[in-house]
Every structure is written in structure tokens, then in C-alpha cells.
């Protein structure tokens, strides 16, 4: 049973909407155990227990939020113990060309430093799910697909 951890920060509710859609997609995979937590509710033990970690943040000046960054900074205490886990990212931003891709890359970069396996997408939204403002139906679909892809990969790696 793959354990999928979705961690997010959300100020306006847009990133939270995306997190819940990602969870819905992940739950489509048989026996996937999906947990969704706000950044401030997430512990290092939560991350250690997961097979896959999907992190999301609003875009702030082309970077992840300070709350998510604070959690990422705390992971130095478990450095090396996230290696081999699956990682993915998502973000919501205020407009086009406002740093969504660099926000995704800032999250993925931290995951790579931990030795995590990154789940990308060859067809669209290569670095992770992104929405401009309130997520549209298409954005929600991308989020669900991200959750499903990550859960499928986690399931493959568990067997």
C-alpha cells in the first residue's frame, strides 16, 4: 500500500483546492493511503513515513512560501532519509509569467538534494501542476492527473 503525503501552504484557498484535487487523483489508485496536511501541521515523521511526498505552495517572488521553506529547512535533520522517495510539486500564482515554474523548481530542487525521485510530466505542466489564481476545471484535471501519476509510481516502486 503506497503512502502518499500531500503537504501544502495556502493563503487564499487556491493551493488548498489543488492539494485536495491531487489527493482525489491519488486515491484512484487501489490501496493508496493518501494524507493531506497543511505545512504547519506536517512533521518530519510524516515525511519519513511517506513513500511519496507532493509539496505545494503559492508563488511568492518566484519561490515557495516561507512556511513551506521553513519545513524544507527543517529536513536537514533527516537528510539522507528521504532518498528514494517520490517527489512532486504544485503551485498557484497570481498571473502568467509570475514565477510559477521557478516556484516548482525551488521545491523540486530541495527534493533532488534529498535524493528523491521526481515525477514529471512529458506532455504538459512538465515540472508540476500550476494554476493562475482560482484553479479552473483544467487545472483541477492536471492536479488529479499528478496525484494519480505519483500514486502509480509509488505503487510500482513498492512492489
Domain count, the chain: 1
Grid coordinates of 58: 503559492
> Domain residues for 77?
3-158
112-136 in b/e form (b: 16+ CB < 10 A) is eebebbebeeeeebebbbbbbeebe
Answer whether residue 60 shows pLDDT above 90.
yes
pLDDT for 108 equals 98
What's the pLDDT tens digit per position in 45-57? 999 999 999 999 9
What whole-number distance in Å separates Cα of residue 47 and Cα of residue 78? 9
Which residue, 135, 159, 154, 128, is CA-closest to 21? Answer: 135
CATH number reported for the structural domain that contains residue 48 in this entry: 3.40.50.360
Amino acid at each position: 500500500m503506497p503512502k502518499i503525503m500531500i503537504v501544502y501552504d495556502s493563503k487564499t484557498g487556491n493551493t488548498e483546492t489543488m492539494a485536495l484535487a491531487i489527493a482525489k487523483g491519488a486515491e484512484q489508485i487501489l490501496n493508496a493511503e493518501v494524507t493531506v496536511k497543511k505545512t504547519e501541521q506536517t512533521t518530519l515523521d510524516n515525511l519519513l513515513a511517506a513513500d511519496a511526498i507532493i509539496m505545494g505552495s503559492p508563488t511568492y517572488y518566484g519561490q515557495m512560501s516561507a512556511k513551506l521553506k521553513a519545513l524544507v529547512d527543517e529536513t536537514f535533520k533527516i537528510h539522507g532519509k528521504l532518498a528514494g522517495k517520490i517527489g512532486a510539486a504544485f503551485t498557484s500564482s497570481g498571473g502568467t509569467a509570475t514565477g510559477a515554474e521557478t516556484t516548482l523548481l525551488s521545491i523540486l530542487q530541495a527534493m533532488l538534494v534529498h535524493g528523491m525521485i521526481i515525477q514529471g510530466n512529458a506532455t504538459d505542466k512538465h515540472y508540476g501542476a500550476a494554476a493562475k489564481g482560482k484553479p479552473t476545471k483544467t487545472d483541477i484535471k492536471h492536479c488529479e492527473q499528478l496525484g494519480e501519476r505519483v500514486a502509480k509510481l509509488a505503487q510500482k516502486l513498492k512492489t
